[in-house]
Structure 1
Amino acid sequence: MTQSVQDPMAVKAAVQEHYGKAIRAGSSCCGGETSTEILLHGAETLASLPEGVVTTSFGCGNPLALASLAPGEVVLDLGSGGGLEVLLAAQRVGPTGFAYGLDMTDAMLETAQANASKAGATNVSFLKGDIEAIPLPDHSVDVIISNCVINLVPDKSLVFQEAFRVLKPGGRFSVSDIVFDGDLADLPVSEAQLRAALSWAACFAGALTRNEYHTMLTEAGFERVDLLVTQRYTLEDLRAQGSEMLVGLPDEVLPLLEGRVTSMTITAWRPLA
């Protein structure tokens, strides 16, 4: 992938700085509205949490709706941010289940811990680390969720390998992510030029194509891989992520991006055998 020419440490540093500032400022990603969490999860669901717990969402979908969590299950949220979805997952798996959140940004973890305290949640734990090196044992998790985070990671193959490793046989992978729908090779600019005009922190520059996502999950060992488009981004949506987005791209490229950047739900299963 052309993404590999990026310095992974520089990408991570930029992402940490961006989201550390964002959680303190209360801004959001992949939608730009402070009510994003209501749109994604619904007011009734959020009302189940104590006042002051709901944090600004940085997501692009609702992986909890996909996951169909059951009492007693162990859940892991990759890139858990302020902990909103971890707390909602903890409610669904109940006192006999457990919900982990994994994030690399201190400001996110501090907010998540504060939210867990406000909610009085005892079946949650927030871990610091990279989602390419999950600090949990093999076969320890029933369900992995994630919301608009995997696109931020330079080496996605490591993420999928680690997800496969920590899932129990028969475990499921249910995430929302930013994905390019279609082959980028048909654009009148190189993939490197396109990604240079986009932003990693704004969720777009690091996005996989649909075929790459499917192939990488399959190569990691997953089966029953399915990707479904839930939103197609307009040029206005892309530009709204920052004033420097799309600068330097030829005019003829811009119409070709209309609807090609999407939010997708991605599901996959670790085989029982």
Structure 2
Amino acid sequence: MSTVPTNDEQLRAEVRARYAKTALQVLGTEQPRAVSCCGPTCCTPSTPAVTTEQRSEAEPSACCGSSCCSSEASGSPIIFDLYTQAELGTIPLAAALASRGCGNPTALAELKSGERVLDLGSGGGIDVLLSAKRVGPSGFAYGLDMTDEMLALAERNRVEAGVENVRFLKGEIEAIPLPDRSVDVVISNCVINLSADKGQVLCEAYRVLSAGGRLAVSDIVFQGQIPPVLRADLESWAGCIAGALEEETYRQLLAEAGFTDIEVEVTRRYSLADIRDSGAGTSIEALSPDERNEVDGKFVSAFIRARKP
């Protein structure tokens, strides 16, 4: 088990290296073999947090189709239960293969025509491209990523999709390269948990939002306290697990940044097996039986909403 570096830049470099590898796999430098950081692989049902009847239309319960389950896309990380076949049919397959998300913020953000959207940690561009289609020609979608390989892949996907109202930016989510009050909606898909300074990320999101703007992110949240051995595991961190915030801490940081109308909606729970598959197997084995019971089912994907007054 490798441990999380004490230096924030070292941690950022480790995360960048993992995401660069995913991008290179999809770009063809290596064989495509994207692995989910936040859930079961494609075509493997997860344990839902809500019933089919309770599930939002924006997160349908069955969308694992032939494009996902083909040999080319085997192991695609996020397709099952997150994006509709209609959505997947409008974007290049590479955008889905490169995604390491845990939700569908583009649908749940209720984007409107003409809105300006920013995706923090845009990866291969799946949520940016879907956002651009939702806001239409009068709107605009920005994607921010720190990894050159992901930016190259995202731009290739943009060209292939023929989407013009999109711009991909290089930068860090702790220092967003956009002016104050420049966007209406900030989205993110299982990326904020990777930051070592989540409070700064939320303050930056608040800064770039216009008055009345909203934050609508999918993220991993822990309902309780994460065992120290799991928190210190670099593989668990880069795999979205160890970097998760406790729910109350997430709410507190949002409020401190200035957000109001804060909501945390659980969309699915993760078992010990799911956590082990995310790369945390060594850490799980190091936990005591009581600690394993405390962890089982406490990591959740959540949709987090908040508004800037």
TM-score, structure 2 normalization: 0.80
> Does the aligned pair in 2 maintain the 1:53–1:119 contact within 8 Å?
no
Equivalent of residue 35 in structure 2, options 28, 35, 44: 28
Deviation at 1:252, TM superposition (A): 2.7
Q: Residues 95 and 231 from structure 1, CA distance in 2 versus in 1: closer, same or farther, beyond 3 angstroms?
A: same
What percent of counterpart residues are identical?
Answer: 50
- Residue 11 of structure 1 pairs with residue 18 of structure 2: no
Whether contact under 8 Å (2:104, 2:189) holds in the other structure is: yes
Call closer, same or farther: CA 1:192–1:256 in 2, change over 3 Å.
closer
**Following superposition, which runs of at least 4 residues in structure 1 exceed 6 angstroms of deviation?**
none
Counterpart of 1:187 in structure 2 is: none
Are positions 1:75 and 2:117 aligned together?
yes
Distance, in Å, in 1 between the alignment partners of 2:95 and 2:232 is: 36
Give aligned pairs, total: 263
| SS at 1:244 equivalent | helix
Q: Which amino acid aligns with 1:206?
A: G
Partner of 1:155: 197
* Cross-structure match for 1:188: none
Q: Distance in 2 between matches of 1:38 and 1:213?
A: 26
Q: Aligned equivalents of 1:246 and 1:156: distance in 2? A: 25
Distance 1:206 1:52 in 2: 26
Give the corresponding residue for 1:86: 128
**What does residue 224 of structure 1 align with?**
261
What's the Cα RMSD here? 1.9
Q: Distance in 2 between matches of 1:112 and 1:51?
A: 12
TM-score (norm 1): 0.91
- For structure 2, list consecutive stretches of 5 or more residues without a partner in the other structure: 26-31, 43-74
Partners of 2:98 and 2:123 within 8 A in 1:
no
Q: Deviations over 1:146-202 (max 9, x none)?
A: 000000000001000000000000000000000001245xxxxxx433312461111
State which of 290, 293, 296 in structure 2 corresponds to 1:252: 290
**1:1-273 equivalences in 2 (<5 Å):** 6-25=6-25, 26=32, 27-29=34-36, 30-31=38-39, 32-33=41-42, 34-35=75-76, 36-37=78-79, 39-49=81-91, 54-184=96-226, 191-197=227-233, 199-242=236-279, 243-271=281-309
Q: Which moved more, 1:245-254 or 1:201-210?
A: 245-254
Between the aligned partners of 2:238 and 2:100, the Cα distance in structure 1 is 11
Helix, strand or coil at the partner of 1:199: helix
CA deviations 1:20-66 (Å, max 9, x no partner) are 11222331321233342353111111112356654332100111122
Residue 246 to residue 133, structure 1, CA distance change in 2 (3 Å): same
User: Please, which runs of 5 or more residues in structure 1 have no aligned partner?
Assistant: 185-190
Tell me if structure 2 keeps the 8 A contact 1:63–1:175.
yes
